[in-house]
Amino acid sequence: MNPLLLYSITTNPFPLQASAAGKNPNIAQLTIVATNAAKNDVRLKAIIIKIPVGQGSEELTNDARHIGPVSPEDWKDPQIQTPKGFIQYTFMPKTGHSTLGSDESVNVVFNNIQVNTKTGTIEVEVTEGNDTCQPGNCPVLQLSVTKFPHEWGEVKFWVNPPVIPLGGNTTLNWSGPAGATYTIEYYTPQTGYVRIPKEGKTPLSNSGQEPSLMLQQGTVFTLNVRETIDGNTYQAQDQKSVNVSIPPPTIRTFEGFFRQDDEGSELILNWDTDAEKCKITGDPYWLTPTSLDNSYTVALSAKNPLRTRYALTAKNASGETTSTLIVVWKVARDCAIKSPAGVCLSPDGTRVYVVNQDDGTGRNGEVITADPSTLQPLCTPVKIAWHSFGIAVSPDGTRLYAANEISNSVTVLDASSDVLAPLSVVAAGWRPKFIAVRRDGKRIFVANINDGTLSVFSPTANRTNPLSPVGPPLPLGPTGINSISALAISPDGSRVYAGANGNNPFAIIVVDAETLQFVGGPVAVENNSAAIAVTSDNAYAIAAINKSILIYSTTAGENNPLRYIGRFSVPIEFSILGSSLDGSCIYALCQDTHGNSAWITVDLSSLKIIGDILNFGRLPAGIAISNDGTKMFVTTQTDGKLWALTPALSSGESGN
């Protein structure tokens, strides 16, 4: 079995020289370097070094007690064993394994070696414990070290400069005793194997330099020294490395576009870099440095929804460079609806449901079903109570629930076919306006805005009586709370958040969605909560209050359900909130005193606006986002519009 790494051995002084008999021994240092020359990572579990001990020409020292081994960084002190005629050092990483990337190396050093008095060549045995072998069956190799005669002389070998820019030059320098033969060897992909001097050319002198070597990557130079004395040939090698300072990779282009068809939505990303490899947000694998043929496709779905950012990370030996595309939203189209209110999407994204508060008769409202692509009606609207507002769909898409604000009830519609059909009308509290369905579909929460209560229902299979009340309406909070201004349920279905108002200070109330018990006490806020949203990762609750968005952590604890994080403010009032499906930003609709709307996307990490500010519609009422994150719909009441928004990509931040 061959080792996965390349090994070299050097000595200081160079070359190694035998000690004089009867005198203090020569002290030497031995360094062994293991380098990963492959493109794939190599995992090491151990390196075992075995040094021959004795007084002969094939042993290094006759007294190993003074040797000072130095482990690589983050490796344990070596285990030492003394089999007959050897001393053995086992070096192991502290974590159990060490990963060497391409061109990375690890080295072990042995200090204070007392060299014995016999000239000759010794063999240092190295066992490579990588993760592809089992103990006792790992690669073994021999590294040769020659002891020259005592006081033979020292050879110096150096490069100047040792670090150069890409395409820069370096000079090799050497000097040593006369009479020896000196050769230099190196390899680069551009030149192949090089030997100085070439065969048949004038030998190198014992002192000289080889100037102006231009390099494109890090290169190892080997100086070979050889001399025959009294019929015995001595040879040794010394190595010096020149590191090439390669600039970080350049990302020449990074762009993308969306593609939608009957099979679903896709994001196509293209890029071109001079990197060795690349990585895209959400993909754990390293990719090729160029993808310009529309070959990299992100299939968007409920399990893999659209993110707010897609970053390209380009990597080479010098480091990494990133470029980011930000998803921004544009108005695609709109359609007129007399008095639109709440809006929601079927789970498969094929239908948009909108509450029209007045069908034109002044007596009834209706639910309109529209095609998400065209906003054209898909079937005849279904009559519901006049001036209804909130609407929600069951997770399986078979039922719709509409909150009838004026008639104090909830309408249940059968949505299992292409045509909506009314099932039943169920009594609720005083002016039910907002409605939310738990993720598992087993609980429906209705906010009764005029009596400050929460009606809770469980769905049944009975088409005549499709909702069963879970107890009487739940009063939200202490005495003085008499109104609810906003309602949201966490995406994991564990908690319900309500904006509560009354004679006491305004507050956000948190309720356990299963037990219907309060989670901690009311969280005081300075004014009426116009809207509440919870990020898709359940980490943050966001409240729109006057001209500010307040951000709270939801992981503060049972007795303190919300911990204030910060706020984002604008000159006009917030009214509608939605969360991106990756939980990184909030979509907010604001309105000025004249009812004019502005759409912004707020990054939660920086509390800054990203993308464009969109101005459309007047008096925003509802927002709905598809499960794959590629479709968004907004209703505005004063101008009577349903708006469809579509995603686009914008260049974001770049850097090293």
**What pLDDT digit, counting tens, does each position of 570-589 carry?**
878 878 899 999 999 999 98
Picking from 303, 348, 296, 302, the residue whose alpha carbon sits closest to that of residue 325 is: 296
- Closest CA relative to residue 17, chosen from 124, 143, 113, 159: 113
Rounded CA gap, 256 and 312, in Å?
A: 11
What does the block give as tokens for 350?
């094929």
The answer to whether the beta carbons of residues 460 and 467 sit under 8 Å apart is: yes
What one-character-per-residue DSSP string does 521-581 give? S-EE-SS-EEEEEE-TTS-EEEEEETTEEEEEES-S-SSS--EEEEEEE-SSEEEEEEE-T
**Measured distance CA(498)–CA(446) in Å, rounded:** 10
Report the pLDDT value the prediction gives residue 479, as an integer from 0 to 100: 54
Under the banding of pLDDT at 50, 70 and 90, the label for residue 506 is confident
| CB 650, CB 322: distance < 8 Å | no
Q: In the CATH scheme, what is the homologous superfamily, with its name and number, of domain 6-245?
A: Immunoglobulins (2.60.40.10)
- Give the chain's mean pLDDT: 92
Q: Which two tokens stand for residue 121?
A: 């060549």
Asked if residues 486 and 448 have their Cβ atoms less than 8 Å apart, the reply is: no
Position 393 scores a pLDDT of 98
Burial of 234 (0-12, 13-18, 19+ CB in 10 A): buried
Per-domain boundaries in the chain: 6-245, 251-329
pLDDT of residue 273: 94
Q: What pLDDT was estimated at residue 44?
A: 96
User: Can you tell me the distance from the alpha carbon of 251 to that of 274, in angstroms, rounded to the nearest whole number?
Assistant: 7
| Conformational region of residue 192, where left means phi above 0, alpha means psi within -120 to 50, and beta covers everything else | left
| pLDDT for residue 412 is more than 80 | yes
The pLDDT of residue 166 is 83
Higher pLDDT, 261 or 540: 540
Residue-level pLDDT at 354: 98
Model confidence band, residue 477 (pLDDT cutoffs 50, 70, 90): low
pLDDT (mean) for 482-503: 89
Q: What are phi and psi of 407, to 5 degrees?
A: -90, 5
Q: Which two tokens stand for residue 232?
A: 């015995």
Q: What number is the average pLDDT over the span 320-341?
A: 95
Predicted confidence band of residue 136 (pLDDT cuts 50, 70, 90): confident
User: What mean pLDDT do residues 334-343 have?
Assistant: 97
Give the per-residue pLDDT at 295: 85
What is the predicted pLDDT for the residue at 656?
57
> Is residue 468 helix, strand or coil?
strand
Q: Quote the CA–CA distance of 483 and 132 in Å, as a whole number.
A: 68
Please give the average per-residue pLDDT across 232-249, as a whole number: 91
- Amino acid identity, position 271: W
Dihedral sign (CA 607, 609, 610, 616): positive
State residue 448 phi and psi, 5-degree precision. Answer: -95, 105
Give the pLDDT score at 217: 82
Confidence of residue 555 (pLDDT cuts 50, 70, 90): confident
Length in residues, the chain: 656
Count the neighbouring beta carbons within 10 Å of the beta carbon of residue 469.
Answer: 13
Which range is least confidently modeled, 132-136, 315-319, 579-583? 315-319
What value does the mean pLDDT take over residues 111-139? Answer: 95
**May I ask the CATH architecture of the domain 251-329?**
Sandwich (2.60)
Whether 533 shows a pLDDT value over 60: the answer reads: yes
CA distance 508 to 497: 7
Query: Residue 556: its pLDDT value, please?
Result: 67
263 or 457, greater pLDDT: 457
Q: Quick one: average pLDDT of 617-644?
A: 94
Interatomic CA distance for residues 136 and 123, integer angstroms: 20
Q: Compute the distance between CA of residue 624 and CA of residue 643 in angstroms, rounded to an integer.
A: 10
| Distance in angstroms (rounded) separating the CA atoms of residues 335 and 401 | 23
In whole angstroms, give the CA distance from residue 354 to residue 635.
8
Domains 6-245 and 251-329 share a fold: yes
Q: Which two tokens stand for residue 424?
A: 């039943």
The residue-averaged pLDDT of 285-302 equals 90
Reference 260, options 299, 228, 222; nearest CA is 299
Cβ–Cβ under 8 Å, residues 542 and 550:
yes
Q: Where are the beta strands (DSSP E) in 363-437?
A: 364-370, 382-385, 391-393, 399-404, 409-414, 421-427, 432-437
Work out the pLDDT band at 317, boundaries 50, 70, 90: confident
Is residue 532 within 8 Å of residue 588, measured between CB atoms? no
